[in-house]
């Protein structure tokens, strides 16, 4: 399983042709207490960079972008009832969507963990 990161602080973890996507712990910490997550419908086709979900903190709403292109095959319904799950475990059980990859080559341009950590250090 490979995990890659975007400059917009999404992570994508790939197993076969299925990519599990979410926001990074850094993003969750910056947002603060998450109170609502709006997830896409299963079956939606998204392109890399599309707004695929919305995450809301007490103060504001933020878009979550698709880190890669694909078809939404699953969403984390648990976040509807317990949006605070994003703060508790952003990079594991706090995932947002599972996408069936349509262009796996897109992954190559994303950052690996070391590159993302370097990117964070520079912010």
Partner 1 sequence: MSEDTSLKTTPLTGLWQGMGGRMVPFAGYLMPVQFPEGVMKEHVWTREKCGLFDVSHMGPAFLKLNDASLTGDAAHAAIAALVETILPCDVAGLAPGQLRYTTLPNATGGVLDDLFVGRPRADADQGTLYFVVNAGCKEQDFAIIAAACAGKATLTRADDRALIAVQGPKAVDAIGNVGDGPKRLGFMEFVTVKGPFGEVVVSRSGYTGEDGFEVLIAADKAEAFVRTLLATAHVKAIGLGARDSLRLEAGLCLYGHDLDETTSPIEAGLAWTIQKVRRERADFPGAARILKELVEKPARKRVGLLPKDKAPAREGAEIRNLAGEKVGMVTSGGYGPSVGGPIAIGYVDLAFATVGTELDLIVRDQPRRWVVAPLPFVPHNYHRKG
Which chain residues interact with partner 1 by CB under 8 A? 32-33, 35-36, 38, 54, 56-61, 80, 83, 123
Give the residue with the Cβ less far from partner 1, 17 or 33.
33
Minimum CB separation from partner 1 for residue 5, in Å?
Answer: 20
Question: Can you read off the two tokens belonging to residue 36?
Answer: 């609502």
Query: Cα(116)–Cα(118) distance, rounded to whole angstroms?
Result: 5
Minimum CB separation from partner 1 for residue 104, in Å?
Answer: 30
Q: What is the dihedral of CA 76, 64, 29, 94, to 10 degrees?
A: 10
Give the residue with the Cβ less far from partner 1, 105 or 123.
123
Give the residue with the Cβ less far from partner 1, 1 or 60.
60
Query: Alpha carbon 47 to chain centroid distance?
Result: 14
Give the residue with the Cβ less far from partner 1, 51 or 112.
51
Query: Cα(12)–Cα(110) distance, rounded to whole angstroms?
Result: 9
Minimum CB separation from partner 1 for residue 103, in Å?
Answer: 26
Minimum CB separation from partner 1 for residue 39, in Å?
Answer: 11
In 9-108 the beta strands, taken as DSSP E runs, fall at 10-15, 18-23, 34-38, 45-46, 51-57, 61-65, 70-75, 97-101
């Amino acid at each position: 399983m490979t995990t890659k990161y975007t400059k917009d602080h999404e992570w994508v973890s790939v197993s076969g042709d299925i990519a599990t996507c979410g926001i990074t712990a850094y993003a969750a910490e910056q947002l603060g207490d998450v109170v609502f997550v709006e997830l896409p419908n299963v079956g939606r086709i998204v392109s890399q960079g599309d707004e695929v979900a919305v995450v809301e903190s007490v103060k504001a709403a933020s878009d979550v972008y698709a880190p890669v292109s694909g078809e939404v095959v699953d969403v984390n319904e648990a976040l509807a009832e317990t949006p605070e799950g994003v703060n508790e475990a952003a990079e594991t059980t706090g995932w947002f969507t599972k996408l069936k990859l349509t262009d796996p080559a897109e992954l190559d341009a994303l950052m690996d963990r070391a590159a993302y950590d370097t990117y964070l250090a520079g912010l």
